[in-house]
Amino acid sequence: MLTFGMGIGSALFLDGCLVPNTELGHLELRGDAAERRASDRIRQQKDLRWKKWAARVDEYLERLEALFSPDLFIIGGGVSKKHAQFLPLLNRRTSVVPAQLLNDAGIVGAALAARSIT
């Protein structure tokens, strides 16, 4: 699960269990943190067209594929409301889908996880 907004949030699941302490938005990409190249904030600040921004996201997802060989990427965060603009532009082996709850997916998932701990 990746959220693209002010930065890049991440949650990694293995066999349905959350892997703790993943901060994949800080992976290095072209000498900088990935979220400084591929977050929605950067797209807006640099006034990037969807095609150019999708290429940056694609490069980031390629790195994640090489590291984890995931079964699926689920995209949430603020930009997920506009998934039709960029998901078709991605060129990954791994399927990429929008979160069913779009921008609310991360907060709902966190609330459910916290509830199960208490």
Number of structural domains the chain divides into: 1
The model carries a pTM of 0.88
- Report pLDDT for 30: 93
Better-scored residue on pLDDT, 35 or 106: 35
Closest CA to 25 of 69, 56, 71: 56
Residues constituting the chain: 118
| CATH number, domain with residue 109 | 3.30.420.40
41 neighbors 5 (Cβ within 8 angstroms): yes
Q: What angle do CA 114, 96, 25 make, to 5 degrees?
A: 55
Q: Is the pLDDT of residue 41 over 80?
A: yes
Query: pLDDT tens across 52-107, in order?
Result: 999 999 999 999 999 999 999 999 988 999 999 999 999 999 999 999 888 887 77
Q: State the residue range of the domain holding 42.
A: 2-12+19-117
Helix H or strand E encompassing 29: strand 28-29
Q: Is residue 118 predicted with pLDDT exceeding 70?
A: no
For residue range 107-117, list pLDDT tens digits in order.
Answer: 787 788 788 77
